[in-house]
Structure 1
Amino acid sequence: MPVPVSLVGRSVRLEPLDVRHIEPLAAAAAEDRSSYAFTPVPHGIEATARYVAEALAAQEAGRAVPFATVRVSDGTVVGSTRFCELDYWQGPVIWPPAPRGPVGDPLAAIPDAAEIGATWLSARAQGTGINTEAKLLMLRHAFDVWGVRRISMRADARNARSRAAIERLGAVLEGVHRAHTRGLDGLVRGTAFYSILDEEWPVARVQLELRVATPRIAVEPSRPLISA
């Protein structure tokens, strides 16, 4: 399974998630929670401790690679994101297809496909370009280091702003699973699924690098720019 790694850009640093991030993550999530209607974000120290423990358990099981999102300018923790749904295609073909763990030495294995999800940012970090650069860092690592064939992302189908943000990454809509699950508001929701394939990555990378290189003016979003 992939080992934890730090990914560093101009405005954001993605650090391997650790228990030392519990208090700063709780502080980040407490700023203004009005934009978290579609995304599960822990509230309070106890909930954040559970959130981190669950993420680290998924990492230990080889199902996720979680990060704390840190603003480079002042070292402030402003959110979290992760690779999840890690899928390994080595070894004999299994049927029906389903995500499976690595074949052989798990410490040497790298995934053939993965999802980027569980992403959230503090209110003051939203709209500043941090999310875009964090996605660029993760996509670079997935495609250029791991050599994955596909990266997936998903969002509540009702979240038009989040879906637009995903599409601006160069992701292609695969479809909407109607009445897919319950949303945080208790209502049955559809889920929009997106992906970027390895052959699409070179074009998407150029576009993302141009976006990250262009200065941005911070805005106060009324709805989240994050995936669920």
Structure 2
Amino acid sequence: MPVPVFLCGRTVRLEPLTERHIEALAAAAAEDRSSYAFTPVPHGIEATERYVSDALAAQAAGRALPFATVRASDGLVVGSTRFTELDYWQGPVIWPPAPRGPVGDPLSAIPDATEIGGTWLSTRAQGTGINTEAKLLMLRHAFETWGVRRVSMRADARNMRSRAAIEHLGAVLEGVHRNHTRGLDGMVRGTAFYSILDEEWPAVRSGLEQRVAAGPRTHHVAESRPLISA
């Protein structure tokens, strides 16, 4: 499974998620929560402890690589994000296709495809450009360090702000799975699935680099709410 890494940019630093982030994450999540209707965000210390424990268990099982999102200017933890649905294509072809773990040494394996999800930001970090640079860092790592063939993203089909923001990153809508699962509100929801392919990455990277260089005013509309929800 991929080794935890620090991904550092101008406005944001993505740190491997650990138990030491619990109190800071709980404080970030305790700000105005009105924008979390479609996004699973822990509330309170106990819920944040479970949130981090579950994320680290998924990492230990080789299913995820979670991060704490840290504002570079002052080291304040402002949210979380992760690589998830790590998929490995080495070894014999299996049928029907399904996500599979690494073949061989899991500590040296790198995925062929992944998903970015579980993303949320505190109210004060929304609309500041942090999310755009964080996505640039993660996508760059996935495509240029791991060499993945695709990165997927998804959102509750009702969450038009998240969907618009994902599309603004340069991801392509693959379709909506209707009546796909239950939402946080208990209602049966559809899920919109997006992807970026390796051959699309150079154009996506160029657009994201231009937005990051231009500063936060170009991000304000797209980042005014949490950007990705599973």
**TM-score, with length taken from structure 1:** 0.97
Residue identity in the other structure for 2:118: A
Please list every run of at least 4 consecutive aligned residues from structure 1 whose deviation after the TM superposition is greater than 2 angstroms: 217-228
Q: Determine if contact 2:126/2:225 at 8 Å carries over to the other structure.
A: no
Q: Could you tell me which residue of structure 2 aligns to residue 139 of structure 1? A: 139
Report matched runs for 1:177-216 at 5 Å: 177-216=177-216
Which amino acid is 1:14 matched to? L
Q: What's 2:176 paired with?
A: 176
Q: Does the CA-based 8 Å contact 1:62-1:101 persist in structure 2?
A: yes
Q: Give the gaps of 5 or more residues in structure 1.
A: none
**Partner SS for 2:216:** coil
On the 8 A contact 1:114/1:148 being kept in 2, the answer is: yes
What residue number does 1:75 align with? Answer: 75
Q: Secondary structure at the match of 1:115?
A: strand
Quick one: distance in 2 between partners of 1:177 and 1:81? 23
Distance of 2:216 and 2:93 partners within structure 1: 47
Give the C-alpha shift of residue 223 in structure 1. Answer: 4.1
The count of residues paired between Structure 1 and Structure 2 equals 228
Matched with 1:227 is: 229
User: TM-score when scaled to structure 2?
Assistant: 0.97
Are 2:143 and 2:198, in contact at CA under 8 Å, matched by a contact in 1? yes
What CA deviation, in whole Å up to 9, does each residue of 1:112-150 have, x standing for no partner? 000000000001101111000000000000000000000
Q: Which residue of 2 aligns with 1:119?
A: 119
Aligned residue identity for 1:170: G
The question of whether the paired residues in 1 share the 8 Å contact of 2:40 and 2:229 is answered with no
- Using the TM superposition, give the Cα deviation of residue 215 of structure 1 relative to its aligned residue in structure 2, in angstroms: 1.6
Cα distance in 2 for residues equivalent to 1:59 and 1:165? 26
The alignment partner of 2:2 has SS state of coil
Superposed CA offset, 1:50-109 (max 9, x none): 000000000001000000000000100000000000000000000000001000011110
Give the partner amino acid of 1:101: G
Is the contact made by 1:127 and 1:225 (CA closer than 8 Å) also made in structure 2? Answer: no
* Distance in 1, Cα, partners of 2:104 & 2:166: 34
In the other structure, the counterpart of 2:152 is: 152
Q: Which position in structure 2 is the counterpart of 1:42?
A: 42
% identical equivalent positions: 83
Question: Do the aligned partners of residues 9 and 35 (structure 1) sit closer, same or farther apart at CA in structure 2, a change above 3 Å counting?
Answer: same
- C-alpha separation in 1, matches of 2:163 and 2:138: 18
What is the CA-CA distance between 1:189 and the residue it aligns to? 0.4
Give the 3-state SS of the residue equivalent to 2:34 in structure 1.
Answer: helix
Question: 2: distance between equivalents of 1:223 and 1:130?
Answer: 12
Checking the alignment, whether the CA contact within 8 Å between 2:127 and 2:224 is kept in structure 1 is no
Instruction: Please list the CA deviations of residues 26-55 of structure 1 after superposition, one character each: whole Å capped at 9, or x if unmatched.
Output: 000001100000000000000000000000
Q: What letter matches 1:227 in structure 2?
A: S
Q: CA deviation at 1:161?
A: 0.8
Q: Displacement, 1:227? A: 3.1
Structure 2 distance, partners of 1:140, 1:224, is: 21
Unpaired runs of 5+ residues, structure 2, are none
Question: What is the RMSD of the two structures over their aligned residues, measured on CA atoms?
Answer: 1.3
